[in-house]
A and B are shown apart, each in its own frame.
Chain A
């Protein structure tokens, strides 16, 4: 097998073979945040949701915001991996594995946010026993289960050849790698099976992903509340999800590029392309946001305007305008010219978008609840240490899962990189030739024109 002798990609296996001090520092830091989160949740579990800042009317706050946010980030894997695979974009090769891992890990965190939000998590089985499909929460449960299953399958299948490399090369964890490698030997038939399965999954996972964030949006848009009951929510949330997903992916790529020395694989061109995608999503997100608020403003319905002004000039104006700044202005300024300092600009834009998209979820959830239709006072939501701790712990837990994954499996798909080297160039050249006009009967004018070109 070529991979035994091929040490060109040794750097991709290095994190699995050796562990440096940096890893332990990182785990230590994350563990502290997770401990904070765990302490926060255990307080909440014993005393009740009263330890948060939630009240009537703002009965949904950080937890639901985090839920939407984390599920949104899960769209990273789908877009990059599936769509780029289907469009045969060669630059996807070092990126797909990281994207797929984000999806799987963040779905666990995202789904658990809803569990954390429940007043009676001990009654969780009631969803199984008495679930009502008329409720958008059940649509969520089904859709997220489907997406989680599909993502795990879609992550695992392309990992099989890499696991086989680990099985053959490493001495540690022989049992794990042997089991997971599914008897991979790189035969032609196995390759066909693998490629076919990946192609099917790439097609299947896209509509599932779109459905996931659409049903998350339906949790809000299926109510009658002002600025929630909007038909744009489905596509709006999906666009926002892809937007935040790309940003998260870029940040993950930059972190691991630096930590594991992957500069040879994750080159500025990859970040340039992802940065351009991020720019397009920023414009698209802005378009949806603009359409949403313009419609509300033009109609001037009193209940909607109450919420509208609350966001624009009222209690929530710092968050709203911070959202516009971090979600649109900063990314666009950073990303329009990606010639020099590509990675720095893209990093700033991505971090900005992550903050901005979290703020966007917050701005959707809380102001509407804060301004009830009937003449109650405006709700004043102040999150407590419990909610901050839970948020920090969730981010840290996601980072920890991701980090542990990179210790067990290669974070860049080794066999796909090799495939790119061996067959990619030829395939692309053949494909390009099919785009060019056929050398059919040329008249005298065209043949001289053809000679000129």
Chain B
């Protein structure tokens, strides 16, 4: 149980922020993709109703996942209170 090889706090925080940013980009990318598919359906004259219908469910689900992820990230990392 030695604490000899502690990893510098800065590096750890940096990677964690990187992970959070990556998660935001990932979910953001999915949402952008879904919107792109709606626009493609519109442009190609296909019925966009399927795209719009699904996006009405899918986008809130992904946003909820993003919010939960961020809630945990924020709640855990910014907690400065003692046990």
Contact = CB atoms under 8 A, between A and B. Distances in A.
The answer to whether A and B touch directly, with their CB atoms under 8 angstroms apart, is yes
Interface of A: 1, 4, 128-134, 138-139, 142, 145-146, 149-150, 153, 157, 160, 168-169, 171, 174-175, 178-179, 182-190, 192-194, 196-197, 200-201, 204, 208
Interface of B: 1-2, 4-7, 11-12, 15-16, 19, 26-27, 30, 33-34, 37-38, 40-41, 46-47, 50-51, 54-55, 58, 61-62, 64-65, 68-69, 71-73, 75-77, 79, 81-83
Contact of A197 (B2, B7, B62, B71): B71
Nearest to A145: B30
Given A134-B50, A138-B37, 9 more contacts: A133-B37, A142-B58, A168-B1, A171-B5, A174-B7, A192-B75, A200-B64, A204-B61, A204-B65
Contact of B37 (A131, A184, A185): A131
B80 to A, nearest CB: 9
A179 B54 contact: no
A153 B75 contact: no
A185 B6 contact: no
B76 A182 contact: yes
Nearest to A182: B76
B19 A179 contact: yes
A208 B57 CA distance: 10
A189 B65 contact: no
B8 to A, nearest CB: 9
Given A146-B62, A190-B79, A182 B34 contact: no
B58 A146 contact: yes
A183 B76 contact: yes
Contacts of B6: 174
B61 A146 contact: yes
A139 B64 contact: no
Q: Which 9 A-B pairs have the closest CB atoms?
A: A193-B75, A133-B51, A133-B50, A182-B76, A134-B50, A179-B15, A178-B12, A197-B72, A183-B77
> Chain A interface secondary structure, helix, strand, loop or mixed?
helix
Contacts of A134: 41, 46-47, 50-51
A269 B38 CA distance: 51
A131 B72 contact: no
B72 A157 contact: yes
Given A134-B50, A174-B6, A174-B7, A185 B83 contact: yes
A145 B27 CA distance: 10
Contacts of A146: 58, 61-62, 65
A401 B50 CA distance: 36
B46 to A, nearest CB: 6
A199 to B, nearest CB: 10
Contacts of A194: 72, 75-76
22 contacts: A1-B83, A134-B41, A134-B47, A138-B54, A142-B54, A142-B58, A146-B61, A149-B27, A150-B65, A153-B68, A157-B72, A175-B7, A179-B12, A179-B16, A179-B19, A182-B77, A183-B77, A183-B79, A185-B83, A189-B75, A190-B79, A204-B61
A175 B77 CA distance: 16
A133 B41 contact: yes
B81 A187 contact: yes
A3 to B, nearest CB: 11
A352 to B, nearest CB: 36
Contact of A182 (B65, B72, B82): B72
Nearest to A186: B83
A200 B1 contact: no
